[in-house]
Amino acid sequence: MNTIKKIVISAASTALVAGMAVSSQAAEWKGWNIHKPGYPNTVAMDKFADLVKEKTGGNITLKMFHSGVLGNQPDAIEQVRIGGLAIGNFNLGPIGPMAAEANVVSLPFIFKDMGHMHRALDGAAGDKISAGMAKIGLIALAWYDSGARSFYNSKKPIMVPADVAGMKVRVMNNELYSGMISALGGNPSPMAFSEVFQSLKTGVVDGAENNWPSYESTGHFEVASFYSLSQHLIIPECVCVNAKAYNALSAADQKSVKDAARESAVLQRDLWEKRAISSREKVMKAGVKFNEIPNKAAFQAAMAPVHTKYLAANPNLVPLVELIKNTK
Ligand code: GTR
């Protein structure tokens, strides 16, 4: 064996030994979160980190990075998939283009209300969605709430679908959302969350859509003061872990991590309910011009082609959509 080969082999075996040593030592995980301090998800993810350390007896420590400082959401999802990051609190919206089963929650009006979404996600449909996410390297440890998303803009109240016609509306990265805005005659503009404030302010877009807490925490209400209660999307969120990192844990540590995520979800859902009310109150006090939508069925009908087109292209997802619709 020549010297170079020997050096390479001995370096490789040293690395292997080092790798084994690392896996039997404490693991240090990094976690991604898009929201600011004080937001329900931020508080819950910090709690999750504390619980992970406590329940695994320090075998795993999780350092959370909030406010999207580690990058935008689609990139962070990719990072957790490939293991550059261990953990993320993700909205299922931007996961949908990567995991077909997860995309069904992004069909407008698929859930009747929050209760329906909870029953579906905590039941058989949730299991199928989790299985689809596992196939792309993401283990969903628990589901967080994200309320219902409604339209807001800087121009006028949206009362009927035709009011969206001609409006430039920011959407998250997912063709279903672009299709949804196009179905209303608007111009969809997929964009990272962090860019929306400036884009609304400078008129690059006229509007966007989100739940009360995000509308408030981002300051979007200051630059887009018409909020119209369309509630067209109820998208759950996950606490997701890189599959390899999770599968490498002992059964006991896996259980601890899962239990920690579930406990944090109980806290998140409770904080969410309160924050949805306080955020709404805050923006209303600040002078937001709010309107209910008298005929939501008109929006549902206008967006129906999004379902038809998607299911025609993905017939294998029809049973999952039916399962969700039939969840009592
Ligand atoms: C929020 C959600 C974020 C992000 C954001 C957006 O409601 O919690 O994860 O998806 O919406 O619109 O980009």
Q: In the predicted model, is pLDDT for residue 31 greater than 50?
A: yes
Instruction: Pick from 32, 34, 35, 114 the residue to mutate for probing ligand 1's pocket: most ligand atoms within 8 Å of its CB.
Output: 34
Quick one: average pLDDT of 210-231? 98
The letter for the amino acid at 153 is N
Q: What is the position in ligand 1's atom list of the atom closest to the CA of 208?
A: 12
Calculate what percentage of the chain has a pLDDT beyond 90: 92
Across residues 215-220, what is the average pLDDT? Answer: 98
Q: Do 164 and 217 fall into the same domain?
A: yes
User: If you average pLDDT over every residue of the chain, what do you get?
Assistant: 93
Show the domain range for 285.
148-234+277-325
Starting at the earlier edge strand, list the strands of the sheet with 168-171. 187-190, 168-171, 207-210, 149-153, 226-233, 289-292
Cα–Cα distances in Å, from 147 out to 38, 116, 118, 257, 315? 17, 12, 11, 25, 28
pLDDT of 112-142, one tens digit each? 999 999 999 999 999 999 999 999 999 999 9
106: Cβ below 6 Å to ligand 1?
no
Taking the CA of residue 213 as reference, the ligand 1 atom at the shortest distance is 7
Q: What is the largest CA-CA distance in the chain?
A: 81
The amino acid sitting at 154 is: S
Q: Same structural domain for residues 163 and 287?
A: yes
Nearest-atom number in ligand 1 for the CA of 192 is 13
Whether residue 24 has pLDDT greater than 60: no
| Res. 14: pLDDT tops 80 | no
CB-based contact 224:199 (threshold 8 Å): no
> Which residue from 183, 178, 185, 150 is spatially nearest to 164, judged by alpha carbons?
185
Q: Please check whether residue 199 lies inside any domain of the structure.
A: yes
Q: Could you count the other beta carbons within 10 Å of the beta carbon of residue 259?
A: 15
Q: Are residues 229 and 301 in the same domain?
A: yes
Percent of the chain's residues with pLDDT above 70: 92
Tell whether the model's pLDDT for residue 236 goes beyond 60. Answer: yes
Tell me the best of 67, 91, 151 to mutate to test the pocket of ligand 1, counting ligand atoms within 8 Å of each CB and taking the most: 91
- Asked if residue 36 is part of any domain, the answer here is yes
Domain total of the chain: 2
How far apart (Å, rounded) are the C-alpha atoms in residues 107 and 180? 9
Residue 201 and residue 302 in one domain: yes
pLDDT of 19 reads: 31
What pLDDT is recorded for position 26? 84
E strands, 92-203, in order = 138-144, 149-153, 168-171, 187-190
Q: Which atom of ligand 1 is nearest to the CA of 94?
A: 10
Q: Are residues 38 and 89 in the same domain?
A: yes
* 221 lies in the same domain as 298: yes
Categorize the per-residue pLDDT at 253 as very low, low, confident or very high, splitting at 50, 70 and 90.
very high
8 A C-beta contact, residue 94 and residue 254: no
**CA-CA distance, 328 to 324, in Å (whole number)?**
9
Residue 107 lies in a domain: no
The mean per-residue pLDDT over the stretch 14-26 comes to 42
DSSP-based three-state secondary structure for 70: coil
Rounded to the nearest angstrom, the distance between the alpha carbon of 89 and the centre of ligand 1 is 10
pLDDT at 162 over 90: yes
| Residue 269 token pair | 């859902």
Asked if residues 41 and 35 have their Cβ atoms less than 8 Å apart, the reply is yes
116: in domain = no
Q: Is 214 in the pocket of ligand 1 (CB under 6 A)?
A: yes
- Please tell me the residue having the least CA distance from ligand 1 atom 10: 91
**Is the pLDDT confidence value at 22 over 70?**
no
How buried is 176 (Cβ within 10 angstroms: 0-12 exposed, 13-18 middle, 19+ buried)?
Answer: buried
* pLDDT, tens only, 262-279: 999 999 999 999 999 999
Whether residue 229 lies inside any domain: the answer is: yes
pLDDT grade, residue 11 (50/70/90)?
Answer: very low
75-85 exposure pattern, b = at least 16 Cβ within 10 A, e = fewer: ebbbbbbeeeb
* Residue 274: CB atoms within 10 Å: 11
CATH code of the domain containing 40: 3.40.190.170
Judge whether 160 lies within some domain: yes
Residues 254 and 309 in one domain: no
> 26 and 36: one domain?
yes
Q: Would you state the pLDDT for residue 25?
A: 66
Q: What DSSP designation does 152 have?
A: E
65 shares its domain with 152: no
